[in-house]
Each structure stands twice: as structure tokens, then as C-alpha cells.
Amino acid sequence: MNNCVWTHPDPAAKTAVWQRQLAEIRAAGVDTAVVLVADGQQALYASRCLPVAAPVLEQLLPLAAAEGVEVHAWIVALQCNAAPILAAHPEWFSVSRRGDSSRDHPPYVPSYQWLCPTRPEVRAYLCSLVDELGRYEDLAGIHLDYIRYPDVILPAALQPRYGLVQDRELPEYDFCYCPACRAAFEARTGRDPLALADPSAEAEWARCRCDSVRQVVAAAASRARAHGKKLTAAVFATPTLARRFVRQQWETWDLDAVLPMIYHHYYGQPASWIPVAVREGVAALAPAVKLYAGLFVPRLNPAELAEAIGSSRAAGAAGVALFSHAALTPAHRTAIRAVLG
């Protein structure tokens, strides 16, 4: 993988449509497609976990190989609206400090229902998705998205959308306080997080939750590598922001590569902030783990996109990850080709 693009597939797409899209990707100098196969709704807890993935991958993989495009399967990991899980496993869902389950009282929007990463059953469920994908011989890797807690604090540019001022961690957005998480923290420290005077000020409680997500990634990595697949993840823009907003300590994760979503406009930053974020991420990672700068194409005109690609690579990124294929205009593709060669 040198440069990649996130892609939302149409399961009903004809061969000619896929061939055209793959040719566009390759002609622009992008060699990898990260293809959504489990969006949190279609993944079923059953013997076949990914009913939508099969027709997409079985059609796409040989076409991608012919075009010289590597394919990674993109999973929405811990955000989950799958009806069978909602019905059968209410205990799997994260609980806020206020005591509300995200299953029944999701924060921000109705679709924000989140599985708890501390629960062994949830880890087993995620590993079952990885195992299901591992059977596709020509699949190069598996890509984890939403591998985190719900946002305890939204990026500054998003808070007005919800009429919020999040200058501190508010109880209704602070997760997870389910029995499994409370027991894990008590075993670690002898304290109940709900009894803390100010949970947001307790560094050990923050570390406990970061560790829980890290352990989920480790379990997925073990399964991916057993099938000979690479494991990558979409993460928040920088290590500092990721720890603060969603309990991601991604620089410690067992990954082949990270794709930080350096979507500058969400943070009220200019595009010149992109290489600053890249440098922070690269400096925090182990040398063996590559960083691909996630760029939000709709907020970058072709010239700005070319500049962001160049500055990301100059700052130490191994390449870029573009969101998304649908947003790439012919002018964008020409600009990408000019800078990538």
C-alpha cells in the first residue's frame, strides 16, 4: 500500500462499473482501495457474519487484481446498529456515566449505538468478522473504523451543530461505565469509577479505557495475521486529540499502518495544519508502523489536495488516504496524478 482511497461499494454494481472505478483509482496514482464491507448494520452475529461482503468481494477482488489495485476490507467495528445484536445482546452496549445505555439512549444522533470494548463477547464478535474476511485469499488487509469509544468531546467545529459547549467531560457523553468496565477498573485500582470525585481528572481511568480499546485491536491483529492479512485502522487526527476525545491511544496499537483522519475543517484549522498533525503522529509511532494521512476531499479543491498530499509526504507520511472515491472529481484525479507521478 502506497496511497489509498476509502470506497463505499454498491453491491449491485456491474462489472463495467467496478472496472471503470478501479481504472480511475489506478490512473490517479492510487494503488489501494479500502472497501466498506460491514457498516455496523449489516454485520450479523451468525455463522456468516458478513452477508453483504461476499457478493462485493467475490466480484471485486479479481477485477482489482487485474488492475493492480490492492483491496482492504473496511469494518465499522464498535458502532453497531445490527438488529440481531440490539435484540439479543443489550448488555454488550456502552453505558454513560449518567447510567444510560447507548443502545437505548444514544448520544448525539439515534445511530450512535456503541459496543463496549471491554466485554470478551464483543471482542469475540469482532474477531469473528476478521475470521470471516480472512477466508478471501486475494484480500490484502482488514481495516478497522470506529474502533473507539463515543466522542466524550466533539471537535470544536461540530459542537454548534448539536447546540453544545463541551468545555469539560459531560456525564451523558462519557463512556463506558457498564459492569464490565467498572469491574476492570476496580480489579486494577481497587476503586469504582463511579465513586471517583471527578472521573475526568483520573489519569488511570483514562488509561484503563485506552487499554481496553488497545486490547480489542490486539485481538483483531492476532486473527488477521493468522490469515496472512495486514491490519490497519482509521483513527482520530493526532495522538493527543484521539486520547482526549475518544480514548484512542493509537500510537500503542498493534497495526501495520494507521490512517489518521486529518480532517482539518472539523477542528477549525486551515489545510496548513495537516502536516503538523502528520509530524505528531509519525513521531509517536514505532518505526515499523506506517502513517497514511487521511484527507477529506470535499473540503480540498484540486490544488489544495495536491498541496496537502505533498506536505503530508514531506512531513513523514508514507502516503495518503483519500475520503472518498465518490468525492474525487476528474480535476481532483488529475491533481493527484500530477503530485504522485
Q: Which CATH number covers residue 31?
A: 3.20.20.80
Report yes or no on 93 lying in a domain: no
Asked whether 285 and 250 are in contact (CB, 8 A), the reply is no
Report yes or no on 153 lying in a domain: yes
Mean pLDDT, all residues of the chain = 94
pLDDT in tens, 271-323: 999 999 999 999 999 999 999 999 999 999 999 999 999 999 999 999 999 99
d(CA 334, CA 290): 26
Report yes or no on 195 lying in a domain: no
The β-bridge partners of 261 are 294
Q: What's the rounded mean pLDDT across residues 226-251? A: 98
Asked whether 50 and 11 are in contact (CB, 8 A), the reply is no
Checking if the pLDDT of 250 tops 60, the result is yes
Report yes or no on 190 lying in a domain: no
d(CA 176, CA 97): 7
Residue 48's pLDDT band (cuts 50, 70, 90): very low
Checking if the pLDDT of 47 tops 50, the result is no
Checking if the pLDDT of 11 tops 90, the result is no
Asked whether 260 and 225 are in contact (CB, 8 A), the reply is no
Asked whether 263 and 290 are in contact (CB, 8 A), the reply is no
Where do we find the cell 452496549?
93
Checking if the pLDDT of 123 tops 70, the result is yes
Contact partners, residue 9, CB within 8 Å, separation at least 6: 35, 36, 37, 56, 60
Checking if the pLDDT of 45 tops 80, the result is no
Q: What's the rounded mean pLDDT across residues 321-338? A: 97
Q: What's the rounded mean pLDDT across residues 18-39? A: 94
Q: Which domain holds residue 253?
A: 4-83+114-158+207-340
Report yes or no on 185 lying in a domain: no
Instruction: Dump strand ranges (E) for the chain.
Output: 4-7, 32-38, 70-76, 141-145, 230-235, 257-260, 290-296, 319-323
Domain count, the chain: 1
Checking if the pLDDT of 73 tops 70, the result is yes
pLDDT score of 44: 36
User: pLDDT over 90 for what percent of the chain?
Assistant: 89
- For the stretch 205-221, what's the b/e string if a residue is b when 16 or more beta carbons lie within 10 angstroms of its beta carbon? bbbbbbbbbbbbbbbbb
Residue 9's pLDDT band (cuts 50, 70, 90): confident
Checking if the pLDDT of 5 tops 70, the result is yes
Query: Which DSSP letter does residue 165 get?
Result: -
Checking if the pLDDT of 42 tops 60, the result is no
pLDDT score of 56: 85
Q: Which DSSP string corresponds to 116-155?
A: -TT-HHHHHHHHHHHHHHHT-TT--EEEEES-S---SS--
Residue 82's pLDDT band (cuts 50, 70, 90): confident
Report yes or no on 103 lying in a domain: no
Residue 52's pLDDT band (cuts 50, 70, 90): low
The model carries a pTM of 0.95
CB atoms within 10 A of CB 34: 28
Report yes or no on 89 lying in a domain: no
Q: What's the rounded mean pLDDT across residues 152-164? A: 95
Report yes or no on 104 lying in a domain: no
Asked whether 319 and 313 are in contact (CB, 8 A), the reply is yes
